[in-house]
Structure 1
Amino acid sequence: MRRTRLRTTPPLVGLAVATLLLAGCSGSMVDQKRYRTFEKAALWRDHSEARQLPDGTVAQSDRDRTAAIETPPPVDAALLARGQERYAIYCAPCHGLGGDGDGMIVQRGFPKPPSYHTKRLRAAPARHVFDVITNGYGVMYSYAARVPPRDRWAIVAYVRALQMSRNAQVADLPNAREKLP
């Protein structure tokens, strides 16, 4: 049997191939033109570098955010505790710790917000309070960028707890009469 020997490529041929491959890479691959905002671009028919998003494009977190906005979480002790904490941070400076509209900012001359304990706000749906936190109302600015949707719902739950605590009737509480002295 005869064995065939593989010939090794001479070093000069390998060097020539490598040189040709590297010669194909120009600086344009590394130093590409960068368009400034609203600069004219010859590449596109409308000569605008700013491209519209394709129809039907949805940001990755938009569906989750929409679900969090549309569906309030179940109210439990943890949600109320979170709501109380967020309320103290974002709402109490104007609305006061009790929700009467007498916070420190108001004491310093800022316009007084309405009390949460008015008949109108007690009758308002929870969604109204959520929307006011989200979009602002009157001199109150939007907290949509500062407070995530779940925390907004937690604040709404805490505001409802404040309203209920202020306006609770003994007859509304089961077995409460036996516990009173």
Structure 2
Amino acid sequence: MNPRRLGLGCLVLTAAAWLASGCHTDMWRQPKALPQQGSAFFADRRSDRPPVEGTVAVGEYKPRDLRNTGYEGGKLATRLPETLKIEGEELSTSDTRSMARILRRGRDRFEVFCTPCHGQLGDGKGMIAQRGLELRRSPGNYHTDRLREMPIGHFFDVITNGYGVMYPYGYRIETDDRWAIAAYIRALQLSQHAQASQLGDRDRRALDRADSGGGS
């Protein structure tokens, strides 16, 4: 065989082998730590590293204040935060028109998340309680003396952290929407336990007509 051709053939084969080396699957087997995999590099033999103490996820910092905990001065709050951000707009809780919007939002969220167990009136007679899953503990009836006397922060806290067999909604419902629900629960309580003296003139006249059989 011609030595020149042999040398050329070897050169071609070498080049082909070199090019083919870039097509192997070694990048599929990178020297990296996989989740839940052991590691000889760290003293605790774990590849998963705990976050540095005090680490907070981006956008998740929430100060331990009234708005985020439902507590004020170490006790359950007896008032709403001064403002609530509802559907992107900051609303004052001391303004009547703003509170009407907050209550509408609270009713909307209540009907989505709370009605199945607690019922439309908050009496604990939702469809799940009546016909669905048998619960170890009946859903709360907001119209008992105990819950009527609870500060509004209690309802925010329960919505956030859960209670009994009720799981927490802290990661399911936005903070200010939870306050709106708590405000609506308080409105439900008043609707079923209000004194006539607390009503406006128009509502008292309607109540008087209903009592006398005159309808609305």
Quote how far apart the aligned CAs of 1:172 are.
Answer: 2.3
Tell which deviates more after alignment, 80-89 or 35-44: 35-44
Corresponding residue number in structure 2 for 1:48: 46
**1:132 pairs with 2:192:** no
C-alpha distance in 1, partners of 2:191/2:139?
20
SS in structure 2 at match of 1:55:
coil
Quote how far apart the aligned CAs of 1:143 are.
Answer: 1.9
Corresponding residue number in structure 1 for 2:176: 150
Question: Deviations along 1:2-57, whole A, 9 cap, x unmatched?
Answer: xxxxxxxxxxxxxxxxxxxxxxxxxx999742212232334434443222222332
Corresponding residue number in structure 1 for 2:114: 91
Q: Percent identity?
A: 44
1:1-181 paired onto structure 2 within 5 Å: 32-64=30-62, 68-70=67-69, 72=81, 73=84, 74-75=92-93, 76-109=99-132, 110-111=134-135, 112-173=138-199, 175-176=200-201, 180=205
**Which one-letter code corresponds to 1:126 in the other structure?**
I
The structure whose residues are more often strand, as a share, is: 2
Q: Which has the higher contact order (CA 8 A, sep 6+)?
A: 1
Name the TM-score, length of structure 1 as normaliser. Answer: 0.71
C-alpha distance in 1, partners of 2:156/2:164?
15
Name the TM-score, length of structure 2 as normaliser. Answer: 0.60
Corresponding residue number in structure 1 for 2:4: none
CA contact (8 A) 2:196 2:204 kept: no
**Which one-letter code corresponds to 1:146 in the other structure?**
R
Shift in CA distance, 47/32, structure 1 to aligned 2, threshold 3 Å: same
Tell which deviates more after alignment, 95-104 or 139-148: 139-148
**How many pairs align?**
154
Quote how far apart the aligned CAs of 1:179 are.
Answer: 5.6
C-alpha distance in 1, partners of 2:28/2:114?
51
C-alpha distance in 2, partners of 1:104/1:150?
27
C-alpha distance in 1, partners of 2:52/2:177?
32
**For structure 2, which runs of at least 5 residues remain unmatched after alignment?**
1-25, 71-80, 85-91, 94-98, 210-216
C-alpha RMSD of matched pairs (Å): 2.9
